[in-house]
Structure 1
Amino acid sequence: MKLLNKITVWFIGVIFLVTPITMVISRNNIKKHLDKAEEQRMRAVNDHVYEQLLTGVKLDHYTHGRPIEVSLFQGPMPAERVQTVKEVARNEDLAQNECRISVTSYYQVGKQIYKVSSYNYVLKSEEIFAGMLSTVVWKMLLIILCVGLTARLLSRIILEPFYRGLKIIKHFDVKRSDQKLQLAHTTTTEFKELNDFIESMAQKARADYAAIKEFSENASHELQTPLAVVRSKLDLLSQTSIDDKQAQLIGDMQASIERLSHINRSLVLLTKLENHEYATSESIKFCAITKRVISTYEDWVKMKEIDISTNLDKNIVLNIHPALAEILLSNLFSNAIRYNLEGGKIKVELNKYNFIISNTGNPPELPTAELFRRFKKGNQSGESTGLGLAIVKQICTVNDFSVTYNYEDGWHQVKVVFGLPEAKPAAEKLCPVPGTKLAVS
């Protein structure tokens, strides 16, 4: 929910919470003031009757048709000369209960005490509340409408610099050194502080990116040079007169150097993937690359007498860098062969929704989820650098794919989902791989 909508909802919620309370308070105040005004009016009426009693004027003319009663009071003068009574009385004319206020006053006229009583019917609390309710409902609807329209209008004025800045940030590319992040000007203090912070962080991010990129490139270059020198020296040394033990040591050193060179290239590749240096808008045929990678590993497959079965759909077009697609498939195939059994099996499936490669092999010694972490591997192969699946994971991440690894019933399965719901591939659209056994499932 947008910030503006949240503020609007909170404001309307406060209105709904406060309005009933204010209605009760208003009703009580209105009722109190109406009763007090009516009580004062009846006191004034009683006082007027007393004045007529003092002057000896006949009361018939004034009291006729008025709810006033005048009578002699037997007994001493009450301590409270004005008495007010509020009660619910039955109005026979209207056949309903009404709220009645009676005011009784006692006056001394000569040696006689007169009792003057007047009464009147006033509005009940329920009637006042009912009258207020309809007014409040319309008032709240009008407030909600005004708040909604005003909030939308203010958002275009007050939040307009924020939306413009957000649009600029979305198009900011840390890899472009020629692009300067220039946010929209605003007079709002909070937005000014936010823009200053974002601009400084963008400059720092660009500087950090440039430093990391320069370091990775320099490290790769500087490491490859001494490795090439050591490799050439070992080649020269192997051509001299050496015994079997020395030859074995030289072979071990050459293998270690190749392994170190492979680790260096893999780490540089991971760094480039994390820095999104393989962005592309190019669409490629994934089926063709899959066939090419499978044919690349034919000799290794024959050496281990592995049986490969494929089920590949035609015309699988994906938006991925060609180099990344080949690295992804090469790492998956090399793992499937390296960790396979002698005379084992490999199954390859490809459709427009996912790519699945399965191979027989010994159970993994680590949880399968941890195998995607760097330098995590089982003990089945000492030749592995432990970076293959980490590279696969990173390639899937930068291309919005998802990858999972499962082991069940002696089969290792790596599944790459291209971000769409799964569906069973059509059997009539198959892309066989030359030189391999085709199994249609």
Structure 2
Amino acid sequence: KIVKNSIIVVYQNNYAAIVQLLLNNKSYKCTNFNIYTAIENNSLTYEILTQDFVHKGIIYRLELGEELTTVDLLEVTILKFTLLILGASAIIMFATDLVFLKYLLNPFYQIVNEKINKVNDPIHFNYIPVKTTTTDFLLLDDSISMLMNKIRLSILTEKEFIANVSHELLTPVSILMVRMENLLNEGLTPDLENKIFANLKTLNRLKSVVNSLLMISKIEQHQYNKDDVVSVQDVVTDVVEELDHRLLMKNLTIAVNLQEDFVFKGNSSLFNILITNLVSNAIKYNVQNGQVKISCDSSSTQFELLIADTGMGMTNLKLDKIFDRFERLQPEMEEGHGLGL
């Protein structure tokens, strides 16, 4: 039953729709204000939105209200939702930037990895350009390829020069050695014979250096056979027999303990030279009455040949230089020219 100036209140899910019918001819503006009402003995506070309108000559006021606690809860919910959206947007933007940068810089990393980090021999450099549409990366790739090509040509020229010089030197050195040996049969005085022997010794060292340079040049240009069947045990046995006489000079003993053999494909001559150089150094730099031990350590993935001696050893500084050409760790010793290892 509706009476004059009465209020009709409808509640649904904490929302209140309040309609007040005004039967007078006064006009009201739309305002917001708070009212208190008691429902089921509970006091509730509402925020009311009012609007006046005329219908069939009668002025009505429409009032829509909502409980303030619901408004506060809605504000908190909107704030949390906004923060969640901002956080999710930041994460998505960060992930997108990472993916985009990785995709964009992938050709750069590929150029650095394949054209610089993995290059051990400029002669066998890979000149195939990396696939990319970025002009700067293409320029970088071309520049690195041009630089590597210059280095390759320089190395090839140097190797060719060493090979030619070594080959040209070998012939006159051999001729001089033959002539010196012939002079020893001429009945010379002991003094002249000693001088000729000294010259022959020097020529032998020179010939050894030339042969070593020729061998290194062939190795670097891969001019050697790689298909020989090499037995580690057989090579070690041959080397020990060849150098057995040198053990007597320092009264050394050698112990070979190869419990199993290891066979591989390679160059038998080069492997023989390698073992000879290692055992020779173990004898040369050993102490009087010392010992040389040759053993092996094998596993499912590799085979290790160990050559140890009782010599003075080497410092870490010397270890960094043992593979440098013409580097002699003990220059006071006459033997050797720094090309063995």
User: Which bin holds the TM-score, normalised by the shorter protein?
Assistant: 0.5 to 0.7
The match for 2:330 among 371, 375, 378 is 378
User: How far did residue 302 of structure 1 move?
Assistant: 4.5
Aligned to 2:339: 387
Higher RCO (Cα < 8 Å, 6 or more apart): 1
Aligned to 1:327: 273
Within 5 Å, give how 1:185-264 maps onto structure 2: 186-264=132-210
Q: Determine if contact 1:287/1:350 at 8 Å carries over to the other structure.
A: no
Give the distance between the partners of 2:288 and 2:144, measured in 1 at CA: 57
Q: Tell me the amino acid that sits aligned with residue 189 of structure 1.
A: T
Q: Tell me the amino acid that sits aligned with residue 387 of structure 1.
A: L
Distance 1:251 1:367, change over 3 A: farther
SS where residue 67 of structure 1 aligns?
Answer: strand
Q: Tell me the amino acid that sits aligned with residue 307 of structure 2.
A: I
User: How far did residue 276 of structure 1 move?
Assistant: 6.3
Structure 1 portions without partners, runs of 5+: 1-55, 69-91, 95-99, 101-119, 392-441
SS where residue 283 of structure 2 aligns?
Answer: helix
Count of residue pairs the alignment pairs up: 287
Give the distance between the partners of 2:91 and 2:155, measured in 1 at CA: 54
Distance 1:378 1:166, change over 3 A: closer
User: How far did residue 229 of structure 1 move?
Assistant: 2.0
Aligned to 2:18: none
Q: Determine if contact 1:238/1:247 at 8 Å carries over to the other structure.
A: yes
Aligned to 1:139: 89
Aligned to 1:286: 232
Give the distance between the partners of 2:97 and 2:176, measured in 1 at CA: 76
Give the distance between the partners of 1:368 and 1:253, measured in 2 at CA: 32
Give the distance between the partners of 1:150 and 1:362, measured in 2 at CA: 58
SS where residue 294 of structure 2 aligns?
Answer: strand
User: How far did residue 305 of structure 1 move?
Assistant: 4.0
User: Deviations for 1:60-112, whole angstroms, at most 9, x for unmatched residues?
Assistant: x988x9438xxxxxxxxxxxxxxxxxxxxxxx747xxxxx9xxxxxxxxxxxx
Distance 1:379 1:206, change over 3 A: closer
RMSD: 4.8
Using structure 2 for the length normalisation, give the TM-score.
Answer: 0.64
Q: Determine if contact 2:256/2:293 at 8 Å carries over to the other structure.
A: yes
Q: Determine if contact 2:167/2:214 at 8 Å carries over to the other structure.
A: no
SS where residue 308 of structure 1 aligns?
Answer: strand
Within 5 Å, give how 1:15-414 maps onto structure 2: 66-67=33-34, 93=44, 128-143=78-93, 154=103, 159=106, 175=123, 181-183=127-129, 186-270=132-216, 280=226, 284-302=230-248, 304-317=250-263, 321-352=267-298, 353-361=303-311, 368-369=318-319, 372=322, 373=324, 374-378=326-330, 381-388=333-340, 391=341
Aligned to 2:40: none
- Identity value in percent: 23
Q: Determine if contact 1:308/1:346 at 8 Å carries over to the other structure.
A: yes
Q: Tell me the amino acid that sits aligned with residue 67 of structure 1.
A: N
